[in-house]
Structure 1
């Protein structure tokens, strides 16, 4: 069972206590900082009011950015798979990129 910790993060000047798996504190803090920055940008543009609406717009924007980084077609996926295979064969002593902690969206 993974040990859970409680981490305090601040988003739009509000403090939140969030459960976090042990060892993931830095990633959660970075995620909260990214969300806070995006929500501040939206609030400063002054066209969206209310924290819920700001949060939804920030979530939509961040999700859109995430989806832009994914392969868009089977051709892209095939190219990534070929690159993955080439890197696997070029890295002595490493069975796969997975051993390096890299995730190519499999």
Structure 2
């Protein structure tokens, strides 16, 4: 049987009480941190005023990210590309040393 927990979370300095299944607690905390970060970025840009408008813009941006990720097959293509570039750089760094061995 799934058990749920009530917990207090803080988003942009405001407390909210939410309920979630115990096994999803960590994901909820990650979502809260992500939403808080996005909302603060929007607020700090100075282009949007008011908590409600900031929340709506954050929701739209996050929905756009989700839909874009789904279109790309369920993963973050930009992160995937960054990792490939990082691997290429690492390989390029060790290949000259490898050539000296043979």
CA contact (8 A) 1:3 1:21 kept: yes
Q: How does 1:35-50 map to 2 (within 5 A)?
A: 35-50=35-50
TM normalised by structure 2 equals: 0.67
The equivalent residue for 2:93 is: none
Give 2:3's aligned residue.
3
Unaligned stretches of 5+ in structure 1?
77-106
Structure 2 gap segments, 5+ residues each: 74-102
TM-score, normalised on structure 1? 0.65
Higher helix share: 2
Moved over 4 A (4+): none
| Pairing of 1:13-52 with structure 2 (within 5 A) | 13-52=13-52
Question: Residue deviations 1:24-64, cap 9 Å, x none?
Answer: 11000000000000000000001111111100000000000
Measured in 2, the distance between the counterparts of 1:45 and 1:55 equals: 14
Q: Work out whether residues 7 and 25 of structure 1, in 8 Å CA contact, stay in contact via their aligned partners in 2.
A: no
Structure number with greater Rg is: 2
The CA RMSD over aligned residues, in Å, is 1.7
Identify the residue that residue 67 of structure 1 maps to in structure 2: 67
